Amino acid sequence: MKAAALEARSRRPAAQAGSKSAVEARLEKLGIRSKLDLALHLPLRYEDETRLTPLAEARPGAPVLVEAEVVDREVKYRPRRTLVVKLSQDGHDLWVRFLNFYPSQVKQFAEGKRVRLFGEVRPGFFGDEMVHPRYRIVAKDAPLPKSLTPVYPTTAGLSQALLRQKIGDALDALALEDTLDAERLAALDLQPFRESVLLLHRPPPDVDARSLEERTHPAWRRLKFDELLAQQLAMRIAYRERRAKSAPRLPDAHTLTNALVKSLPFALTRAQRQAHAVIAKDLAQPHPMRRLLQGDVGSGKTLVAALAALQAIGNGWQAALMAPTEILAEQHFLKLSHWLEPLGVRIAWVSGSLKARAKKAALAAIASGETQLAIGTHALFQEDVAFPKLGLAIVDEQHRFGVEQRLALASKGGGEPHQLMMSATPIPRTLAMSFFADLDVTVIDELPPGRTPVVTKLVAEERRDEVIARIRESCREGAQAYWVCPLIEESEQLQLKTAIETFETIQETFPDLAVGLVHGRMKPAEKAQVMADFKARKLQLLVATTVIEVGVDVPNATLMVIEHAERMGLAQLHQLRGRVGRGAQQSLAILLYYQPLSELARQRLKIIYESHDGFEIARQDLRLRGPGEFLGARQSGAPLLRFADLERDADLLEAARRMADELLAAGSAAASRHLDRWLGTRRFYLKA
């Protein structure tokens, strides 16, 4: 028999809690649709009902199981209706109180009945008492459960008793055969599956409770391993399926790409050349590329993307470049037009803010195939955009897009285009191995030469006057500076107001300097004009919102003041700071902050002060914020791993990865057995 848990003190007997379909609906809320789901619904914690504690020894602080005989019972009406039962064991009394009860319960506690109660014993008015314990009337010497009582995560209207019963039935009905053979299990020191599942639901009383709680018990490790293995298998299979799909072969004819390289006022860095070579090779393959190009801010990813686009275009195919914000997309548009139009490439610009007529014209040019390169925001993959021959889809800052958006762009060409994703945010190793395991990754690990590291200063707001004096002096000597407005996340209206106010204050503070303003709500032409004036040194100070975070490139600007730096995220600060230090001159970023600082803000400022390495900063950012940021887009709301924790179980992840490769290489039936079991339960492994 299963662990005979005490009946729940629910008002109704558990088995009658609602009709069958209501129970099913509640189970479904917990993600439970099958017997196997029930078996994999693991306890949150356990209660020990395997031992009886003598009443005389029960102390407050932890629930215990006691057994005593009813001496008396009484329903009291003051202060409110209460059933009070007096019980006794070996001359020790216990008072039990119920505030909600049924007449049948009053009858149950007949004098002389033997009752088992689970709860906390506390000193009360009359003596030791228990309030609303779980209880059961038992015969003398009734057997005790042999295992701990599981407490499951549940939902409203689904009692522990019913859940236990359902799960118990499932465990008895299922064979829970192992998907992995004994040899492989032994090699990894893993326990059999059935044994592990059973132990987690019904642990013996002498189990190492702590390892269960911390999920380090061998039974937990087995389940975590299985989950990770399923994920790895799914990812590897997705990867293989993609390799089996066909895409246009786009070998590099070198005409356009060489022409671009020749036209540049600089040489490609070693890292850019290598990245370009890898991508050029991918594009020549008859199956779709899906490559992530990672590189720190300013490492020159755009140029690598431009070369890839030219390769597609040189083969008579179209390319599309999608960026997450209008500003960033526009920067790309300007830069790529500057590079590619001299080569005769026909470029279209598509954004949400385009006037109807301009948009219609752009879409027509794309649809007719006249456009060779389309650049824009997510407006690029809306239904009304049709690419007759999309060979390459490029996605900048890929982690800011959802999977669906990327897929939408990828499906634009009818067939499967090659995909190049770019990101300045490195994926940590464990994530790269798990949720991103279906991507190929190339890293640009070098910045173009001639950049001088930016000196960063943290300055408290009280010392603003010193900062102003410093800026004034430098600008008089010919330097140019950015003055970044405080970030107002709540509303665009407030952000605009703040930008204008900051602009006015700065104009008053520096009557001797030419001050400009650039913000996100300006028309593209206005923005371009201000930027052009700044570049031409007609402006010495440029007040800006975080719109300059990406793309802006004015090498003579060597100073930056960031107001309310404590409000900004690490990636944002790093990107902003990357706007200076673009020339040979020494640059300075002054981060003004307001006190008191929160602990998180203090840590962020310390990191940005100490590090210049975007990858290191991203790693620290991840440590502070957790992996949700990355997975948010990738998972689009689907639950993460249920059992395994990528940080804590990194060793299991490695092992699962190796085994996935082994199983697939061996063409083993175990792989599909394993996937059937785990993918059948929850589809949370992405193939996008």
Instruction: Please identify, among the stretches 18-26, 145-153, 300-308, 493-501, the one whose residues bind ligand ADP according to the rule CB under 6 A.
Output: 300-308
Instruction: Rule CB under 6 A: say whether 299 interacts with ligand ADP.
Output: yes
**If binding is defined by CB under 6 A, does position 448 make contact with ligand ADP?**
yes
**Least distance in angstroms from the C-beta of 303 to ligand ADP:** 5
273-289 burial code (b ≥16 CB/10 A, e <16) = ebbbebbbebbebebbb
Residues in the chain: 688
| Nearest-angstrom CA–CA distance, 507 and 501 | 10
Nearer to ligand ADP, 231 or 302 (CB): 302
Q: Does 131 bind ligand ADP (CB under 6 A)?
A: no
Looking at 493-556, which runs of residues are DSSP E strands? 515-518, 541-544
Tell the smallest beta-carbon distance from residue 606 to ligand ADP (Å): 24
Judged by CB under 6 A, the chain residues 17 through 56 that form the site for ligand ADP are: none
Quick one: which of 297, 373, 481, 660 contacts ligand ADP (CB under 6 A)? 297
DSSP 176: -
In the complex with ligand ADP, the residue whose CB is nearer, 516 or 551, is: 551
CB of 276 to ligand ADP, least distance (A): 11
- Least CB distance from residue 348 to ligand ADP, whole Å? 21
Does 445 help bind ligand ADP (rule: CB under 6 A)?
no
Tell me if 584 contacts ligand ADP by CB under 6 A: no
Residue 93 or 445 with smaller CB distance to ligand ADP: 445
Q: In angstroms, what is the minimal distance from the CB of 422 to ligand ADP?
A: 7
Smallest gap, in angstroms, from Cβ of residue 294 to ligand ADP?
9
| 221 C-beta neighbours (distance < 10 Å), count | 23
**b/e for 293-326, b at 16 or more Cβ within 10 A?**
bbbbbbbbbbbbbbbbbbbbbbbebbbbbbbbbb
Q: How far is the CB of 275 from ligand ADP (least distance, A)?
A: 10
- Which residue lies nearer to ligand ADP by CB, 199 or 293? 293
Of 147, 232, 257, 302, the one binding ligand ADP (CB under 6 A) is 302
Distance in angstroms (rounded) separating the CA atoms of residues 426 and 629: 12
**Least distance to ligand ADP from the beta carbon of 301, Å?**
3
Pairing of strands 418-423, 290-295: parallel
Question: Binding to ligand ADP by residue 342, rule CB under 6 A?
Answer: no
Residue 295 binds to ligand ADP (criterion: CB under 6 A): yes
| Stretch 245-274 residues interacting with ligand ADP (CB under 6 A) | 266, 268-269, 272
In order, the DSSP letters of 353-403 are TS-HHHHHHHHHHHHTT--SEEEESGGGGSTT---TTEEEEEETTGGGS-H
H or E segment and range at residue 275: helix 270-283
Minimum CB separation from ligand ADP for residue 261, in Å?
A: 10
Q: How are beta strands 318-322 and 373-376 bridged, if at all? A: parallel
Among 69, 120, 446, 553, the residue binding ligand ADP under the rule CB under 6 A is 553
Q: Confirm or reject binding of residue 334 to ligand ADP (CB under 6 A).
A: no
CB of 571 to ligand ADP, least distance (A): 12
Nearest to 195 by CA among 170, 175, 173, 225: 175
Among the listed residues 133, 145, 150, 300, the single contact to ligand ADP using CB under 6 A: 300
Strands of the sheet with 128-131, listed across from one edge: 122-123, 128-131, 92-98, 82-89, 64-76, 114-119, 134-138
Judged by CB under 6 A, the number of residues near ligand ADP is 16
Give the H/E segment covering residue 65.
strand 64-76
Q: Is 583 in the site for ligand ADP (CB under 6 A)?
A: no
Quick one: which segment of 117-125, 171-179, 294-302, 492-500 binds ligand ADP (CB under 6 A)? 294-302
CB of 297 or CB of 410, closer to ligand ADP: 297
User: Min. distance of Cβ 426 from ligand ADP in angstroms?
Assistant: 13
> Is 446 near ligand ADP (CB under 6 A)?
no
Q: 31, 205, 218, 298: which one contacts ligand ADP (CB under 6 A)?
A: 298
C-alpha span between 180 and 656 (Å, rounded):
12
Least distance to ligand ADP, CB of residue 476, Å: 27
* Residues 6 or more apart whose Cβ sits within 8 Å of residue 333: 347, 349, 375, 376
Interface of this chain with ligand ADP, residues 189 to 208, rule: CB under 6 A: none
Q: Which residue number, 302 or 430, has a Cβ lying nearer to ligand ADP?
A: 302
Interface stretch with ligand ADP, choices 21-29, 72-80, 301-309, 364-372 (CB under 6 A): 301-309
Q: Which residues contact 478 (CB under 8 A, 6 or more apart)?
A: none
Binding to ligand ADP by residue 487, rule CB under 6 A?
no
Q: Provide the minimum distance between the beta carbon of 604 and ligand ADP in the complex, in angstroms, as a whole number.
A: 21
CA separation for the pair 138, 261 (Å, rounded): 87
Task: Specify the amino acid at residue 41.
Answer: H
Name which of 288, 640, 668, 216 is nearest 434 in CA terms: 640
Return the SS3 of 460: strand
Residue with Cβ nearer ligand ADP (321 or 686):
321
Which residues does 666 contact at the CB level (< 8 Å), separation at least 6? none
Binders in 618-677 for ligand ADP, by CB under 6 A: none
The tokens describing 387, both together, are 């690419």
Is 278 or 365 the residue whose CB approaches ligand ADP more closely? 278
Question: In angstroms, what is the minimal distance from the CB of 333 to ligand ADP?
Answer: 13
Q: Are strands 128-131 and 122-123 parallel, antiparallel or unpaired?
A: antiparallel
Q: Which positions from 526 through 545 interact with ligand ADP, judged by CB under 6 A?
A: none
* Nearest residue to 626 via CA among 416, 430, 335: 430
Minimum CB distance to ligand ADP, residue 338 (Å): 9
Instruction: Determine, following the binding rule CB under 6 A, whether residue 587 of this chain makes contact with ligand ADP.
Output: no
Sequence-ordered alpha helix ranges (H) in 116-159: none
Task: Write out the DSSP string of 394-409.
Answer: EETTGGGS-HHHHHHH
Identify which of 483, 484, 454 has the alpha carbon closest to the alpha carbon of residue 583.
454
Nearer to ligand ADP, 298 or 415 (CB): 298
The pair of three-digit structure tokens given for residue 328, joined into one six-digit string? 């960033």
Least distance from ligand ADP to the Cβ atom of residue 268, Å: 5
Instruction: Write the secondary structure of 193-210 as one string of H (helix), E (strand) and C (coil).
Output: HHHHHHHHHCCCCCCCHH
For ligand ADP, the closer CB: 150 or 295? 295
Task: Give the torsion through C-alpha atoms of 517, 520, 526, 527, to 10 deg.
Answer: 70
- Residue number with CB closer to ligand ADP (11 or 270): 270
Of 405-444, binders to ligand ADP (CB under 6 A) are: 424
323 binds ligand ADP (CB under 6 A): no
The answer to whether the CB of 656 falls within 8 A of the CB of 231 is: yes
Q: Which lies closer to ligand ADP via its Cβ, residue 299 or residue 398?
A: 299
Q: Which of 221, 301, 412, 527 binds ligand ADP (CB under 6 A)?
A: 301
Residues in contact with ligand ADP by CB under 6 A are 266, 268-269, 272, 295, 297-303, 424, 448, 551, 553
